[in-house]
Chains A and B, each alone.
Chain A
Amino acid sequence: MSSLKYIEIQNVAQTFKTKKGLFPALRDINLTVAKGEFVTLIGHSGCGKSTLLNLIAGLTMPSDGTLLCANREIAGPGPERAVVFQNHSLLPWLTCFENVYLGVERVFGAASKSTGAPSENKAQLIARTDAALAMVGLTAAAQKRPGEISGGMKQRVGIARALAMEPKVLLMDEPFGALDALTRAKLQDELLDIVARTKSTVVMVTHDVDEAVLLSDRIVMLTNGPAATIGEVLSVDLPRPRNRVALADSAQYLGYRKAVIDFLYTRQAHVEKLTA
């Protein structure tokens, strides 16, 4: 699985300038993600999970080290590394269709310089958008505005927007964090299904142990900040497709779960005391 390095993170450190001086958020991050791999980043809040994801997205630049995606340095954000934001970040004045179409139009509406693909006509762009909304089961809500649909549906539109751009990597920043447990479980199952079909490479930030074990090929556990780094990487060798009900009493699953909990609550406990 790890034969093909797709994202390479080499000696990355991130330091923020604050009013109280320099704040070291991340240090010595080394990680490679293979094509088609599902990696989750887990750690206590404030440990720099989202900072690392933003670095991969290119939304921020590292203070030190290099990030490569498909052997090219990540110099800024781009549609080949689509992001699903925690708070969905849909534009409230556009319908769900228009929100997805905005990305589709940008990626496929103009001739591609890198792949040489010709620009697609409007009917093809509309078909892509419709297909993306159908994939997340929102065909009926296409003409609704984000304000008219539920939180779970909004997050699905966010996923559709990201996937419709056919990104090389799908970056997800606690995508289900703001949802209730039932909706979250449903969307996790849908995501498993979609990722299996599209063979996407995914890097996902989460603070939910079950979510991490259920979805991931590998779980990257971060130590507490400041100056957080990778504490441990756990390979999850559960067979796919995974079924949450069947896994609920699988000894293997519980073992992985225990390992993550042990890391988070025994070895990296008391994050609040440090920051308070």
Chain B
Amino acid sequence: MVSAVFHSPLASSESVAIKKEAPPAHSTRATGQNHAEGPASVRPEPVEGHAGTSTRPVRTDRAPGYDWRGLLMAVLPPLLGLGLLIGIWALVSISTASSIPSPWETWKQAVELFSDPFYRKGPNDQGVGWNVLMSLERVAVGFGLAAVVGIPAGFAIGRFEFLGRMFNPLISLLRPVSPLAWLPIGLLVFKGANPAAIWTIFICSIWPMVINTAVGVQRVPQDYMNVARVLNLSEWKIVTKILFPAVLPYMLTGVRLAVGTAWLVIVAAEMLTGGVGIGFWVWDEWNNLNVKNIIIAIFVIGIVGLVLEYALIKIATAFTFEEVKS
């Protein structure tokens, strides 16, 4: 009994180590050495139990074949988590006498909905695809404008102490304000629901980009700036060869936070402004008391947010250089 309890974490940690160990054949030597430490650090543990030492060679033999254990660990827990969510949902659905629709009912509705996502029956009845695209367009425009303004502003604020001291109080004051509080101002100034929504996205996504870019510029190692001074580089070379690459990881973090916030805010903004959009769609379906569509919308919003986040993380890792700190 004790050995069984002892085994399962060991087996899983070892299988992860084996999985990691496979690639070094075609990756660089440095990373190979790092991975090789994996099993070595696991090794001392099984000394306490004889079962551990005797079974390990068998597992190592299996390593060249397909790593089923690793696959299982990668797939099973997320599936269980998803199952838990659906289970709770089903229970809630039963206990509320189906005023919350069951997962199965919702699934059927979703299949029907996504069989024709791009239909148009008048301005207030359009396919879910159009709604998502309209929301994404607003986010893209508002976010794009915020990036165009925010990233250069962040560079300026980080680079020049005077500007930093000038704008830091303003940023501290305005940043905690809910972006939705800006919506009336947007409606007043732009005299239209759509530009007001874009304005709201602009306001909410500009702060993370300004702040992260500025912090990134301030954290550029002094060594690099000394190199720039000794080589007597021009301001243009300093920006392109030193500041920009050094700040890029920070900037991309800001971009990622900004996109996340923008996607959160667009739903609320569209609920208030109306028109076509995923937020408006949720509100419209609530007025129709079509709860199934609301639940579908929640999943759609979640999945789109997940995809945006994942894409930006991928971009960020591609542009982050090892050893930036040393």
**Are both chains from one complex?**
yes
**Which A residues lie at the B interface, using CB under 8 A?**
57, 59, 76-79, 81-83, 85, 87, 89, 91-94, 102-103, 106, 145-148, 165
Taking a contact as CB atoms under 8 Å apart, the answer to whether A103 and B231 are in contact is: yes
Give 23 A-B contacts (CB < 8 Å), ordered by A residue: A57-B230, A77-B226, A77-B229, A78-B232, A82-B230, A85-B226, A85-B227, A87-B223, A89-B221, A89-B224, A89-B226, A91-B227, A91-B241, A91-B242, A91-B245, A92-B322, A92-B324, A94-B241, A106-B233, A147-B321, A147-B322, A147-B323, A148-B30
What is the CA–CA distance of A79 and B232 in the complex, to the nearest angstrom?
Answer: 7
Taking a contact as CB atoms under 8 Å apart, the answer to whether B323 and A92 are in contact is: yes
| Across-interface contacts of A146 in B (CB, < 8 A) | 323
In the assembled complex, the CB of A191 is this many whole angstroms from the nearest CB of chain B, namely 19
In the assembled complex, the CB of B282 is this many whole angstroms from the nearest CB of chain A, namely 44
Size bracket of the B interface:
20 to 34
Asked if B326 is at the interface (CB within 8 A of a chain A CB), the reply is yes
| Across-interface contacts of B232 in A (CB, < 8 A) | 77-79, 106
Taking a contact as CB atoms under 8 Å apart, the answer to whether B30 and A76 are in contact is: no
What is the CA–CA distance of A93 and B318 in the complex, to the nearest angstrom?
Answer: 12
Taking a contact as CB atoms under 8 Å apart, the answer to whether B226 and A59 are in contact is: yes
Contact of B230 among A78, A91, A92, A94 (CB under 8 A): A78
Taking a contact as CB atoms under 8 Å apart, the answer to whether A83 and B230 are in contact is: yes
Asked if B120 is at the interface (CB within 8 A of a chain A CB), the reply is no
Chain A residue at minimal CB-CB distance from B248: A93
Taking a contact as CB atoms under 8 Å apart, the answer to whether A92 and B229 are in contact is: no
| Across-interface contacts of B326 in A (CB, < 8 A) | 87
In the assembled complex, the CB of B234 is this many whole angstroms from the nearest CB of chain A, namely 8
What is the CA–CA distance of A80 and B145 in the complex, to the nearest angstrom?
Answer: 44
Taking a contact as CB atoms under 8 Å apart, the answer to whether B229 and A85 are in contact is: no
Asked if B172 is at the interface (CB within 8 A of a chain A CB), the reply is no
Chain B residue at minimal CB-CB distance from A85: B223
Asked if B69 is at the interface (CB within 8 A of a chain A CB), the reply is no
Asked if B96 is at the interface (CB within 8 A of a chain A CB), the reply is no
In the assembled complex, the CB of B226 is this many whole angstroms from the nearest CB of chain A, namely 6
In the assembled complex, the CB of A7 is this many whole angstroms from the nearest CB of chain B, namely 16
Contact of B245 among A78, A87, A93 (CB under 8 A): A93
Contact of A89 among B227, B237, B241, B324 (CB under 8 A): B227
Beyond the given A77-B226, A77-B229, A165-B231, please list 10 additional residue pairs across the A-B interface where CB-CB is below 8 A.
A59-B226, A85-B223, A87-B326, A89-B226, A93-B321, A94-B241, A102-B237, A102-B241, A146-B323, A148-B30
Chain A residue at minimal CB-CB distance from B324: A92
| Across-interface contacts of B231 in A (CB, < 8 A) | 79, 102-103, 106, 165
| Across-interface contacts of A91 in B (CB, < 8 A) | 224, 227, 241-242, 245
In the assembled complex, the CB of B233 is this many whole angstroms from the nearest CB of chain A, namely 6
Chain A residue at minimal CB-CB distance from B28: A148
| Across-interface contacts of B221 in A (CB, < 8 A) | 89
Chain A residue at minimal CB-CB distance from B223: A89
| Across-interface contacts of B30 in A (CB, < 8 A) | 148
| Across-interface contacts of B233 in A (CB, < 8 A) | 102, 106
Taking a contact as CB atoms under 8 Å apart, the answer to whether A77 and B322 are in contact is: no
What is the CA–CA distance of A35 and B18 in the complex, to the nearest angstrom?
Answer: 60
In the assembled complex, the CB of B325 is this many whole angstroms from the nearest CB of chain A, namely 9
| Across-interface contacts of B321 in A (CB, < 8 A) | 92-93, 145, 147
| Across-interface contacts of A92 in B (CB, < 8 A) | 321-324
Most chain A CB atoms below 10 A, which of B246, B321, B324:
B321
What is the CA–CA distance of A94 and B240 in the complex, to the nearest angstrom?
Answer: 12
What is the CA–CA distance of A81 and B245 in the complex, to the nearest angstrom?
Answer: 26
What is the CA–CA distance of A85 and B321 in the complex, to the nearest angstrom?
Answer: 20
| Across-interface contacts of A165 in B (CB, < 8 A) | 231
| Across-interface contacts of A87 in B (CB, < 8 A) | 223, 326
Please, what's the 1-or-0 string for B204-232, where 1 marks a CB less than 8 Å from any CB in chain A?
00000000000000000101101101111
What is the CA–CA distance of A143 and B233 in the complex, to the nearest angstrom?
Answer: 22
Which 7 pairs, one residue from A and one from B, show the smallest C-beta to C-beta distance? A93-B245, A89-B223, A147-B322, A77-B229, A147-B323, A92-B321, A77-B230
What is the CA–CA distance of A139 and B268 in the complex, to the nearest angstrom?
Answer: 59
| Across-interface contacts of A78 in B (CB, < 8 A) | 230, 232
In the assembled complex, the CB of B223 is this many whole angstroms from the nearest CB of chain A, namely 4
| Across-interface contacts of A82 in B (CB, < 8 A) | 230
What is the CA–CA distance of A102 and B236 in the complex, to the nearest angstrom?
Answer: 13
Most chain A CB atoms below 10 A, which of B227, B229, B232, B324:
B227
Chain B residue at minimal CB-CB distance from A165: B231
